[in-house]
């Protein structure tokens, strides 16, 4: 099969290229639908819900008209340099997809999904018509049969590399390369850098949560900025300015607390530092926290003169 296609002037398409082309076609349909929904987002909710099957069919028909019907290849195939070849004839001359095959392709890819999406509503509308229920049961049976045939076709495609979709096998059209593909020069420098940085990032994501940066910061501050005076006793009187500034963040104390010296702290500032560093001390005077109960709220009577 491969030798025949090369002699005819075309080259077999790679499996990955055919799968990528199919995915690109689905993405193009999704992009068009998303843009259409954005255009109607300020209208009343549910305006397009009732006609969603017709919208999907119209978009598929539009894409088919300006891709496969115009240039004998879908949008995804055009991006990857593929094209549909007619395999129904016995001639060794290359024949591309015919007009009849393109029309049947539109019927199966546009009409089939529309009928499937509308089958539930149509069955309700025609439930009073005599013998119509047999038609819908037959349609459900054909739908299940189509799914089984699609799975079998895909397994054959993985083995032989041709006819990625069941529609292609039925119509006798095969995705091929119209011309020989140039060999790509693969450079491993970029890949090596990406692998190196990816491994380094994973190492950092694993190690950083294990490092207590707050404790390291407090130890460095105690070493570099030694307090000018030793810790004062609890009875040391405070001046009004002590109540207006947190000794850690420098702002007005929010829910003021103390740890035994004359300085006042925000509750979050002192509690978070003590939880991260058990040997935390006042950054101004060096007063240490004896135990967790040593952190006490500032009494209201202490601030009555402010």
Quote the pLDDT of residue 183: 62
> Could you give the CA distance from residue 94 to residue 11 in angstroms, rounded to a whole number?
11
Helix (H, G, I), strand (E, B) or coil at 9: coil
Task: Among 177, 205, 235, identify where a domain stops.
Answer: 177
- Quick check: is 112 in a domain? yes
Q: What is the 3-state secondary structure (H, E, C) of 262-288?
A: CCCECHHHHHHHHHHCCCCECCCCCCE
Summarize pLDDT for 5-52 with one digit per residue, the tens: 444 567 888 899 999 999 999 999 999 999 998 888 888 877 888 888
Same structural domain for residues 218 and 105? no
Same structural domain for residues 51 and 112? yes
Task: Among 177, 203, 238, identify where a domain stops.
Answer: 177
pLDDT at residue 247 above 80?
A: yes
CA–chain centroid gap for 147, Å, is 28
Burial of 242 (0-12, 13-18, 19+ CB in 10 A): buried
* 89-99 burial code (b ≥16 CB/10 A, e <16): eeeeeeebbbe
Quote the pLDDT of residue 118: 84
Residue span of the structural domain in which 291 resides: 213-303
Same structural domain for residues 171 and 232? no
Same structural domain for residues 9 and 157? yes
- Quick check: is 277 in a domain? yes
Summarize pLDDT for 94-138 with one digit per residue, the tens: 888 999 999 999 999 999 888 888 887 777 777 677 677 787 788
- CA dihedral (124, 128, 133, 139) positive or negative: negative
Q: What is the pTM of this model?
A: 0.57
- Quick check: is 28 in a domain? yes
Same structural domain for residues 69 and 126? yes
Quote the pLDDT of residue 64: 93
**Mean local confidence (pLDDT), 288-300:** 72
Same structural domain for residues 66 and 111? yes
User: Token pair 């591309």 is at which residue?
Assistant: 96
Same structural domain for residues 24 and 73? yes
| Helix or strand (DSSP H, E) at 11 | strand 11-12
Answer yes or no: are the C-beta atoms of 164 and 22 closer than 8 Å: yes
pLDDT at residue 234 above 60?
A: no
Same structural domain for residues 171 and 285? no
- Quick check: is 291 in a domain? yes
> Which of 23-32, 57-66, 220-229, 286-295 is predicted least confidently?
220-229
> Could you give the CA distance from residue 253 to residue 136 in angstroms, rounded to a whole number?
74
Same structural domain for residues 164 and 242? no
pLDDT at residue 229 above 70?
A: no
Instruction: Give the mean pLDDT of the chain.
Output: 81
Quote the pLDDT of residue 226: 61
> Could you give the CA distance from residue 117 to residue 53 in angstroms, rounded to a whole number?
6
Report the number of distinct structural domains present in the chain. Answer: 2
Beta bridge partners of 281: 288
Same structural domain for residues 34 and 134? yes
> Which of 172-181, 195-204, 282-291 is predicted least confidently?
282-291
Quote the pLDDT of residue 297: 83
- Quick check: is 204 in a domain? no
Where residue 77 falls among pLDDT bands split at 50, 70, 90?
A: very high
**Mean local confidence (pLDDT), 209-225:** 76
- Quick check: is 129 in a domain? yes
Task: Among 177, 194, 224, identify where a domain stops.
Answer: 177
Residues of the chain with pLDDT > 70: what percent?
84
CATH number at residue 296: 3.30.40.10
- Quick check: is 227 in a domain? yes
Same structural domain for residues 162 and 237? no
- Quick check: is 198 in a domain? no
Same structural domain for residues 164 and 293? no
Answer yes or no: are the C-beta atoms of 270 and 213 closer than 8 Å: no
């Amino acid at each position: 099969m491969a030798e025949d296609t090369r002699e005819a002037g075309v080259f077999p398409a790679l499996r990955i290229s055919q799968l990528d082309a199919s995915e690109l076609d689905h993405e193009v349909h999704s992009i068009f639908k998303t843009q259409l929904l954005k255009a109607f987002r300020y209208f009343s909710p549910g305006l397009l819900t009732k006609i969603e099957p017709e919208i999907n069919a119209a978009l598929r028909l539009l894409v088919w008209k300006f891709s496969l019907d115009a240039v004998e290849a879908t949008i995804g195939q055009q991006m990857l340099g593929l094209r549909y070849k007619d395999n129904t004839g016995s001639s060794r001359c290359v024949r591309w997809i015919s007009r009849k095959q393109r029309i049947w392709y539109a019927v199966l890819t546009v009409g089939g999904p529309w009928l499937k999406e509308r089958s539930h509503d149509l069955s309700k509308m025609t439930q009073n018509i005599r013998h119509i229920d047999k038609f819908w049961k037959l349609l459900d049976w054909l739908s299940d049969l189509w799914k089984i045939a699609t799975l079998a076709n895909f397994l054959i495609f993985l083995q032989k590399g041709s006819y990625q979709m069941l529609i292609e096998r039925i119509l006798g059209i095969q995705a091929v390369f119209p011309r020989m593909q140039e060999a790509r020069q693969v450079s491993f420098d970029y890949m090596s850098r990406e692998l190196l940085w990816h491994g380094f990032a994973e190492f950092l994501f694993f190690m950083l949560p294990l490092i207590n940066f707050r404790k390291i910061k407090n130890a460095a501050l105690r070493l570099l900025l030694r307090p000018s005076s030793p810790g004062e006793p609890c009875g040391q009187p405070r001046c009004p300015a002590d109540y207006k500034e947190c000794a850690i963040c420098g702002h007005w104390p929010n829910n003021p607390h103390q740890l035994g010296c004359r300085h006042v702290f925000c509750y979050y500032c002192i509690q978070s530092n003590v939880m991260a560093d058990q040997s935390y001390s006042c950054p101004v005077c060096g007063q240490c926290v004896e135990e967790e109960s040593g952190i006490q709220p500032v009494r209201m009577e202490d601030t009555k003169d402010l």
